Every structure is written in structure tokens, then in C-alpha cells.
Amino acid sequence: MPVDIVIGAQWGDEGKGRITDLMAAKADVVARYSGGDNAGHTVTIGEAIFKLHLIPSGIIHPGVICLIGNGVVLNPQVLLREMDGLAARGVDVSPARLKISRSAHLITPAHIALDKADEALRGGDAIGTTQRGIGPAYRDKTGRVGLRASLLADPEALADAVHAHVVEKNRVLTQLYGQPALDAAQVAAGFAAYARRLAPHLTDGAQLLDEALRGGQKVLAEGAQGTLLDLDHGTYPFVTSSYPTAGGALVGLGIGPRVIGRIVGVAKAFTSRVGSGPFPSELAGEMALRLRGTGENPWDEYGTTTGRPRRVGWLDIVILRHALRVNSLTELALTKLDILSGLPEIPVCVAYELDGARVTYFPSDLAQLGRARPVYETLPGWEQDITGMRHKRALPANARRYIEFVADMTGTPVSMVSVGPDRQQVIIEA
Ligand code: GDP
Ligand code: IMO
Ligand code: MG
């Protein structure tokens, strides 16, 4: 049985959590392969809303094993808080169900302090990170000085390693950034305590997946962030420090390309972005507010992790084609179509005008992207409330037309369309 991958096709927050939850119904293992608690994935089941940051969005299905893969950077304090929150709501997060790859890397308070100090130093050029220590933790990983999750197996050894790490980072924090030093002994003691709780969850992630696949089990790889936040294929430097794209799933889990089945690109029916950087189809004013919402609904466009208002704009086909190419998407899942209901007409960005020429590719050069102006094709809207519809044939003709336009313009089937946040509010084989 192959590995299916769920990937954000835009700048994150496309609804990966809810699509993962949906597909997890048919999976044996769900594995997160990149990022850390910068992610915020929402799963809505009736009245219950689960906001997951580190734990894979398959956790709500009792029979599914959830793996935090080697590509993830893991804040153990955040993980324990998330585990406790789920356990209090009756979700089994025991070591039998929730596994941590020994090769994942740990995020410490020193990484978080450095993330904040880096951002402060950038001033007006700040990336707008989630300040969760993501960049500094991956920097340590690639610099080969990171703290691997395997250290959680030995609380004393971990405490020693964390102590040395904080002492080292304190030199940078105090001497380079003029920031206060952290209490190394206190941080080290905290990590020893986390280790005592998390050690039973450790596993060899790649081996676990290999055995699952050999046993005919179905694996779902859950992406975090989105294609345009990819370190290489996103809007650098306004990106995250990992690889949310399909290649990242292979490296971040220790699997090869031959085991991959479906590669589902999750795309919002419009576009959103949190943090800085170019955004060609961005809207301001009344229409932005209309798409973003005021914050009164749980699905309004305010960050799941940081609560920041998200920047919003029309759907951008140029971005979807880029995501298609970079990830070899087999299909698209279109989310939040319900938000477009009631608009008389809906512009869709189909190309950019760049320095007087019309281009249909996504410029890899940030300055060029900054100069790109959206070229819109305007589609007719629909009035009806579609949140109760479960079949494509029930949708208003113009909503069907919108979906077909996306499929035609990208040359990719739209296999799922969601019309509300709830697990049930989805149209399969759209
Ligand atoms: P993720 O990071 O990709 O998992 O997405 P987030 O959970 O951060 O953000 C998506 C938001 O939209 C969440 O509040 C979801 O509950 C909500 N959502 C997902 N799909 C739909 C949909 O089809 N309609 C509506 N109204 N909300 C949705
Ligand atoms: P999910 O998985 C949206 C953005 C941040 C910032 C940039 C770098 O919920 O889709 P970082 O803290 O990673 O160094 O921040 O990336 N970002 C996200 N935006 N959704 C996310 O995750 C994000 N994770 C990071 O806003 O612009
Ligand atoms: Mg999110």
C-alpha cells in the first residue's frame, strides 16, 4: 500500500488538518514530516474543535498510529501541553498510538529567544515568523549541533546537553543581541522532566513506516505550512526553514519516491498569507474584510497558532500551477468554497503582468514577484448557501463552474471540495 501525501498548495492554512483528518479514516499511520508548532491544524467534528500543532491530524481516529517524523522540530513542552489537552478530551495519546522519531530535533527556549531576537533585529524587514524557534532549531540541525529527540531516552544526558546548549546560546544572546541570558540549569531540569514523560514515545520512524508498508498498511504523510513557504521553492526569505513540499515528505520521513501514491494539494478557494512578503492577488479594504471575516467565526482568517489576522486575496492559479509542478500533485482539494457564496462575481488570477509582459509562471526572483501584477478572469458568483451540500450535482451551476475552472486551468482534478469546517462538510469526487 502506498504513502499518500497532503501538502499545502499556497502559503499555509489551506485546511490541511481537516483534509488529513478526512483521509485518515482510511489510513493506518499518519505522519507529520516537517515544521514544528509553527503549524496550527484545525479539525472540526460537530461541536468539538481540535487545534493541533505537533500531533498529526489523524489522532482523532482511535485506530490510527500517529508519528512525528524525523523532519519535524519538536518543542517538548508544547507537545506535552498538546498531549494533555487531548487526553483531557478523551483522545488516546499513549505511547502505543503517538510515536516520535528519534531523529527529530528538539526546540529549546534558547531557540525561541533567538527567533525573537532575530526578528527584532530585522526591524522593518522582519519575516513575521511565528516566534516558535523554528529557524534557529533548523539552523542548529544543518549546522550539526542540534539536539536530537533520541536524547529524550536518557534524562541526565539530555539535561547535560541542554545545559551546554543554553550556555553556548547565552553567549550569542547576550554578547551579540544584547538580550538577557537564560537560566541554563532551570531549562536543563525542565528538559529532564519532559524526557521522563516522552521517552516511551520514541521510535525509529523510518523503520516503523517500512514495517507498516511491508505489512500492507496505509500511510498518510501530513504536510505543514505550504509550498510557497518552502525554503527552496517558496518566496525566500519570507519562508519557513523547512521543506513543506513533496520532496520534504520523503526526506522528512525516510521513505523513497517509489512508495508514493496520491499527492493531494490543498488549496483554499481564495488565497491567504500570514507574515511578510509579496502577495500578487492581495486585497485590501472591504473585500479583504469580507474574505477574512471579523473573527467571530472559528474559521475566520486569524492564525491558528498566533491569532494574527491573515492577509487575504483572490485565488491565484499561477501559484497553484507552481505547486502542481514542484510537488507533482495528483489532485487538488479545494477548501472554504462556502466563503465565496454571495459574491456577485469572483475574480481569479490567471497570469501576471511583469515588466510589460504577460507571464504564467511563478517568478523565483523575489524582486520580480514584487513587481508582478495580477491578471484576472472574472467568474460569475452564486447566491445560495452551499454549506449543507454534499454532492457536486447539488451545487449551484456557478459554483460547479468555479471548481471546473480551477481543474481546467491547472489541468488537475479537484477530488475534494469543502463547504464548511466540519468533517462532514465535504464533497468527494467533486
Ligand atoms: P491548516 O493549517 O492547513 O490545517 O489550516 P488551518 O486549520 O490553520 O486553517 C483553516 C481554517 O479554515 C480552520 O479554521 C478550519 O476549521 C477552516 N476550514 C477548513 N475548511 C473549511 C471550509 O471548507 N469552510 C470553512 N468555512 N472553514 C473551513
Ligand atoms: P500551517 O501548517 C501559515 C509562516 C509565518 C512566517 C513564515 C516563517 O498551519 O499551514 P516560521 O515561524 O516558520 O519561521 O515563520 O512562515 N508560517 C505559516 N503560515 N501557516 C503555517 O502553518 C505557517 N507556519 C509558518 O507566518 O511568515
Ligand atoms: Mg494552520
| Residues pairing with 427 in the sheet | 417
Ligand nearest to the CA of 274: 2
Q: Is residue 298 part of a domain?
A: yes
Find the DSSP H helices in 328-430: 366-371, 397-410
Q: Which residue's alpha carbon is at the smallest distance from atom 23 of ligand 2?
A: 225
Whether 1 has a pLDDT exceeding 70, the answer reads: no
The whole-angstrom separation of Cα 41 and Cα 249 is 17
Choose, from 4, 13, 37, 316, the residue flagged as catalytic.
13
Report how far ligand 2's centroid is from the alpha carbon of 142 (Å).
20
Give how far the C-alpha of residue 331 lies from the chain's centroid of Cα atoms, to the nearest Å. Answer: 18
- Give the position of cell 454549506: 387
Residue 129 confidence (pLDDT): 96
Residue 415: burial class (beta carbons within 10 Å; 0-12, 13-18, 19+): middle
Ligand 1 atom 21: residue of nearest CA:
421
Q: Give 150-160 pLDDT, tens digit per residue.
A: 999 999 999 99
pLDDT of residue 211: 98
First-to-last CA distance in the chain?
24
Nine-digit cell string for 222: 501530513
| Same structural domain, 211 and 240 | yes
- Closest among 214, 218, 248 to 231, alpha carbons compared: 248
Residue 217 grid coordinates: 498498511
**Whether 198 and 208 share a structural domain:** no
The protein residue with its alpha carbon nearest to ligand 2, atom 27, reads 275
Q: Is residue 263 part of a domain?
A: yes
Better-predicted residue by pLDDT, 28 or 303: 28
Domain boundary among the residues 175, 202, 229 is at 202
Give 396 Cα–ligand 2 centroid separation in angstroms: 34
The count of other CB atoms within 10 Å of the CB of residue 279 is 22
Q: Which amino acid is at 74?
A: L
Domain end among 181, 202, 223: 202
Contact between 15 and 336 under an 8 Å Cβ cutoff? The reply is yes
Task: With a cut of 80, say whether residue 354 has pLDDT above it.
Answer: yes
Which pLDDT belongs to residue 304?
75
Q: Are residues 301 and 387 in the same domain?
A: yes
Q: Are residues 213 and 331 in the same domain?
A: yes
Place of cell 500551477: 321
Atom of ligand 1 nearest to the CA of 20: 4
In the predicted model, what is the mean pLDDT of residues 114-135?
A: 96
Per-residue confidence (pLDDT) for residue 165, from 0 to 100: 98
Task: Indicate whether 311 pLDDT > 70.
Answer: yes
The whole domain housing 134 covers 105-202
In this structure, the answer to whether residues 176 and 256 fall within a common structural domain is: no
Share of the chain above pLDDT 70, in %: 100
What integer pLDDT is reported at residue 160 of this predicted model?
Answer: 98
Same domain, 243 and 193: no
Which residue, judged by its Cα, is nearest atom 26 of ligand 1? 420
Q: CATH number of the domain that 110 lies in?
A: 1.10.300.10
Same domain, 182 and 222: no
Residue 322, in any domain of the structure: yes
Give the alpha-carbon dihedral of 341, 346, 349, 355, to 10 degrees: -140
Same domain membership, residue 212 and residue 181: no
- Identify the band that residue 310 occupies on the pLDDT scale cut at 50, 70 and 90: very high
Tens digits of residue pLDDT in 87-119: 999 999 999 999 999 999 999 999 999 999 999
- The conformation of residue 223, written as its DSSP 8-state character, comes to P
Cβ partners under 8 Å of residue 392, min gap 6: 400, 403, 417, 427, 429, 430
pLDDT in tens, 227-237: 999 999 999 99
Kindly state if the Cβ of 7 falls inside 6 Å of ligand 2: no
Domain co-membership, 222 together with 311: yes
Question: What is the mean predicted confidence (pLDDT) over 239-254?
Answer: 98
Q: Is the CB of 133 under 6 A from ligand 2?
A: no
**Could you tell me the pLDDT band of residue 252, with boundaries at 50, 70 and 90?**
very high
The mean per-residue pLDDT over the stretch 322-327 comes to 98
41: annotated active-site residue: yes
The predicted pLDDT at position 430 comes to 58
Residue 365 CA to residue 236 CA, distance in Å, equals 9
Whether residue 369 is predicted with pLDDT greater than 70 in this model: the reply is yes
Alpha-helical regions (H) of 283-363: 285-292, 317-327
Q: Determine contact, residues 11/271, Cβ cutoff 8 Å.
A: yes
309 lines ligand 2 (CB under 6 A): no
Q: What is the pLDDT of residue 306?
A: 80
Backbone angles phi, psi at 315, to 5 degrees: -60, 140
13 is catalytic: yes
Q: Is 40 in the pocket of ligand 2 (CB under 6 A)?
A: yes
Give residue 35 CA to ligand 2 midpoint distance, Å. Answer: 9
Average pLDDT (205-212) is 98
Using CB distances shorter than 6 Å, the residues near ligand 1 are 8, 12-18, 40-42, 44, 298-299, 304, 335-336, 338-339, 418-421
pLDDT value at position 308?
A: 87
Ligand 2 centroid from CA 305, angstroms? 9
Ligand nearest to the CA of 39: 2
Residue 100 lies in a domain: no
Ligand 1 atom 20, closest CA? 421
Q: How would you classify the pairing of strands 41-45 and 48-52?
A: antiparallel
CA 225 to ligand 3 center in whole angstroms: 7
- The pLDDT confidence band at residue 429, using thresholds 50, 70 and 90, is confident
CATH number for the domain that contains residue 64: 3.90.170.10
- Confidence band of 29 (pLDDT split at 50, 70, 90): very high
Q: Is residue 99 part of a domain?
A: no
> The sheet that has 345-354: what strands, in order across it?
357-359, 345-354, 373-380
pTM, to two decimals: 0.97
Indicate whether 270 and 121 sit together in one domain: no
**CA gap 275, 406 in Å, rounded:** 26
- pLDDT per residue as tens digits for the range 2-24: 999 999 999 999 999 999 999 99
- Judge whether 319 lies within some domain: yes
In a domain, 256, yes or no: yes
Interval between CA 269 and ligand 3 midpoint (Å)? 15
Of 294, 329, 290, the residue nearest 309 (C-alpha): 294
Residues 71 and 215 in one domain: yes
Q: What is the DSSP letter of 4?
A: E
Q: Note the pLDDT of residue 13.
A: 97
Q: Which of 167, 202, 237 is the last residue of a domain?
A: 202
pLDDT at 77 over 70: yes
In Å, how far are 37, 73, 342, 343 from 380, measured between CA atoms?
A: 39, 44, 10, 8
How many separate domains does the chain show?
2
- Residue 135 Cβ inside 6 Å of ligand 2? The answer reads yes
Catalytic site residue from 4, 21, 37, 41? 41
Average pLDDT for the chain:
97
Q: Are residues 308 and 419 in the same domain?
A: yes
Ligand nearest to the CA of 418: 1
